[in-house]
């Protein structure tokens, strides 16, 4: 069943996840009603921008009216032995909002009289937000992850300038990797409660469904193959029900259907299949380390080779998005830092991690980005076949033609092909 039904459909038609929320008409829409009077061709860009700004203002004002500043101040002061504090961001200010709001949270600055600053994160309640049940699980998982990291003595550096302190940053990052390697788990999933170090199911929206009115979560898993197969099958379900990739459903199906075969075919994707498993931040652009040391919202356990491949912020993003699988200078440097600390095993994961990067970006990835995703997928094909992606768009076209022929008789693909030709 869907997480959220369409506001226009008379039945229980599922709305499109992520892209199904229309700020102009304030409705959650399914694939059928996605092509409504609010499409870009029907609304000029100025009106769309204005409506978006108004929706954002309404969202923040509603969010700020739902909490009590004095209660927050009292609670924060009590946690620091009674030191008084003041709050910034408790009333709507467009300039402040631009710096204080991320994709999932709005941040209130807490300034103590002794100069210490904290951040209070308020979960955004925008159109299309996850259900309250799923949000509660996500918050509990994040709190459990932060507490576990703290109890394990894993350092999180306060670094705000990557260029100035590169050596110091990578030294601290190496220490984090080493500490994470010392703390293992028996299954793949997410920490569920701050006072319980057991691993539960995954708590991400693209891994979540509903059944009989309750959340249907994936995991925990005893092998990485089991985990990846289940996660890919969940994406195929969402694609087939037109809850995801509604404008690129055929390509999305072909990608995930192929990945389902690759997982059980290529030895590179089966490395580290069995326990132990380790924690990894699954959205590791680097901002959880470089900017907000408490942003551990997307933490889960995974196989060793995936957990310890290089964070994405160390990659040469331009070359990576062109399909190149060459190691960046940052990756090479980080591998040397790990070796200098005596961790040749972790350095090996950095040097051999490209196939993990490619897989992470292809499963539930940006397939609707027709400019860059073919390059990303061609990069995965190149790593699996031991070749270079010199002509990624050509590689993509040849792969797509072959995949269409291979899976053409599958019922779900036939239905998607029929729908795309309407």
Interhelix angle 329-340/344-351, rounded to 10 degrees, is: 170
What average pLDDT score do residues 319-336 get?
94
Identify whether 264 is part of a domain.
yes
Task: Find the length of the chain.
Answer: 422
Asked if 152 contacts 179 with a C-beta cutoff of 8 angstroms, the reply is: yes
Interhelix angle 329-340/166-181, rounded to 10 degrees, is: 60
pLDDT attached to residue 11: 55
Q: Does one domain contain both 285 and 174?
A: yes
What average pLDDT score do residues 72-93 get?
90
pLDDT over 90 percentage in the chain = 49
Q: Indicate the pTM of the whole model.
A: 0.71
Whole-angstrom distance, CA of residue 269 vs CA of residue 305: 9
Domain C-terminal end among 77, 95, 123: 123
Q: Does one domain contain both 191 and 307?
A: yes
Whole-angstrom distance, CA of residue 315 vs CA of residue 310: 8
Longest Cα separation, the chain: 69
Res. 40 pLDDT band, cuts 50 70 90: low
Q: Does one domain contain both 157 and 183?
A: yes
Q: Does one domain contain both 338 and 382?
A: yes
Interhelix angle 224-240/249-263, rounded to 10 degrees, is: 160
CB neighbourhood size of 242 (10 A): 22
Q: Does one domain contain both 188 and 50?
A: no
Q: Is the alpha carbon torsion for 120, 125, 130, 134 positive or negative?
A: positive
Two structure tokens written together for 422: 């309407």
Segments in 264-409 forming alpha helices (H): 287-290, 304-307, 317-321, 329-340, 344-351, 354-362, 373-385, 392-407
The total domain count for the chain is: 3
Q: Is it the case that residue 119 has pLDDT exceeding 70?
A: yes
Identify whether 234 is part of a domain.
yes
- Whose tokens are 């459990």? That residue is 144
pLDDT attached to residue 363: 97
Q: Does one domain contain both 284 and 372?
A: yes
What torsion do the CA atoms of 306, 245, 376, 226 make, to the nearest 10 degrees?
30
Res. 139 pLDDT band, cuts 50 70 90: low
pLDDT attached to residue 51: 74
Two structure tokens written together for 325: 């699988």
Q: Does one domain contain both 118 and 187?
A: no
What average pLDDT score do residues 90-118 get?
86
Q: Does one domain contain both 162 and 188?
A: yes
Burial 304-324 (b: 16+ CB within 10 A, else e): bbbbbbbbebbbeeeebbbbb
Cross-strand pairs, 209? 216
Of the ranges 45-49, 69-73, 352-356, which one carries the lowest mean pLDDT score?
45-49
Asked if 313 contacts 290 with a C-beta cutoff of 8 angstroms, the reply is: yes
The continuous run of DSSP H or E covering 280 comes out as strand 278-281
pLDDT digits (tens, 9 = 90+) for 175-226: 989 999 999 999 999 998 877 888 999 998 888 898 888 889 999 999 999 9
pLDDT attached to residue 160: 27
Identify whether 62 is part of a domain.
no
Q: How far is CA 232 from CA 229, 255, 362, in A?
A: 5, 10, 10
Q: Reduce the DSSP state of residue 291 to 3 states and report it.
A: coil
CA 209-103-255 angle, 5° bins? 50
Identify whether 349 is part of a domain.
yes
Q: Does one domain contain both 103 and 217?
A: no
Identify whether 129 is part of a domain.
no
Of the ranges 301-305, 311-315, 360-364, which one carries the lowest mean pLDDT score?
311-315
Cross-strand pairs, 117? 111
Give phi and psi for 363, each to the nearest 5: -75, 120
Q: Does one domain contain both 170 and 29?
A: no
Identify whether 296 is part of a domain.
yes
Strand ranges in 187-273 using DSSP code E only, listed in sequence order: 190-193, 196-200, 209-211, 214-216
Cβ neighbours of residue 291 closer than 8 Å, sequence gap 6 or more: 160
Instruction: Give the chain's mean pLDDT.
Output: 83
333: left (phi over 0), alpha (psi -120 to 50) or beta: alpha
Q: Does one domain contain both 217 and 155?
A: yes
Q: DSSP character for 131?
A: P
**Residue range(s) defining the domain that contains residue 242:** 134-420
Q: How far is CA 164 from CA 147, 159, 167, in A?
A: 30, 10, 9
Best CA proximity match to 127, nearest among 211, 50, 43, 17: 17
Q: Is it the case that residue 345 has pLDDT exceeding 80?
A: yes
Identify whether 20 is part of a domain.
yes
Concatenating the DSSP letter of every residue in 69-86 gives HHHHHHHHHHHTTT--EE
Identify whether 342 is part of a domain.
yes
Q: Does one domain contain both 385 and 273?
A: yes
């Amino acid at each position: 069943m869907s997480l959220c039904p369409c506001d226009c459909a008379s039945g229980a038609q599922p709305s499109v996840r992520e892209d199904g929320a229309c700020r102009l008409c304030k409705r959650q829409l399914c694939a059928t009603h996605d092509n409504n009077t609010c499409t870009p061709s029907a609304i000029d860009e100025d009106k769309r921008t204005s409506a978006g700004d108004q929706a954002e203002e309404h969202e923040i004002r509603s969010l700020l009216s739902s909490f009590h500043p004095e209660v927050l101040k009292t609670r924060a002061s009590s946690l620091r032995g009674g030191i008084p504090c003041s709050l910034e961001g408790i009333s709507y200010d467009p300039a402040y909002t631009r710096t204080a709001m991320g994709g999932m949270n709005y941040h209130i600055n807490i300034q103590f009289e002794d100069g210490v600053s904290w951040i209070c994160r308020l979960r955004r309640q925008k159109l299309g937000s996850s259900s309250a049940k799923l949000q509660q699980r996500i918050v509990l998982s994040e709190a459990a992850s932060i507490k576990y990291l703290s109890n394990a003595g894993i350092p999180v550096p306060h670094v705000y300038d990557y260029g100035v302190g590169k050596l110091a940053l990578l030294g601290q990052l190496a220490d984090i990797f080493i500490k994470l390697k010392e703390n293992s788990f028996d299954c793949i999933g997410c920490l569920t409660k701050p006072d319980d170090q057991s691993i539960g199911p995954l708590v991400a929206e693209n891994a979540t469904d509903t059944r009989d009115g309750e959340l249907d979560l994936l995991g925990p898993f005893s092998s990485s193959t089991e985990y990846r197969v289940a996660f890919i099958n969940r994406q195929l379900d969402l694609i087939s029900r037109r809850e995801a990739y509604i404008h690129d459903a055929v390509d999305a199906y072909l990608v995930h259907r192929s990945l389902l075969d690759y997982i059980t075919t290529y030895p590179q994707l089966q490395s580290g299949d069995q326990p132990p498993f380790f924690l990894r931040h699954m959205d590791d652009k680097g901002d959880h380390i470089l900017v907000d040391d408490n942003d551990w919202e997307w933490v889960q356990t995974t196989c060793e080779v995936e957990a310890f491949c290089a964070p994405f912020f160390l990659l040469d993003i331009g070359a990576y998005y062109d399909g190149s699988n060459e190691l960046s200078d940052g990756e090479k440097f980080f591998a040397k830092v790990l070796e200098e600390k005596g961790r040749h095993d972790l350095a090996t994961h950095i040097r051999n991690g490209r196939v993990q990067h490619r897989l992470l970006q292809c499963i539930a990835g940006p397939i609707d980005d027709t400019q860059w995703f073919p390059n990303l997928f061609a990069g995965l094909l190149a790593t699996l076949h031991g070749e270079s992606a010199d002509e990624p768009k050509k590689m993509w076209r040849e792969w797509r033609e072959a995949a269409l022929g291979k899976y053409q008789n599958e019922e779900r693909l036939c239905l998607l092909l029929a729908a795309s030709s309407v």
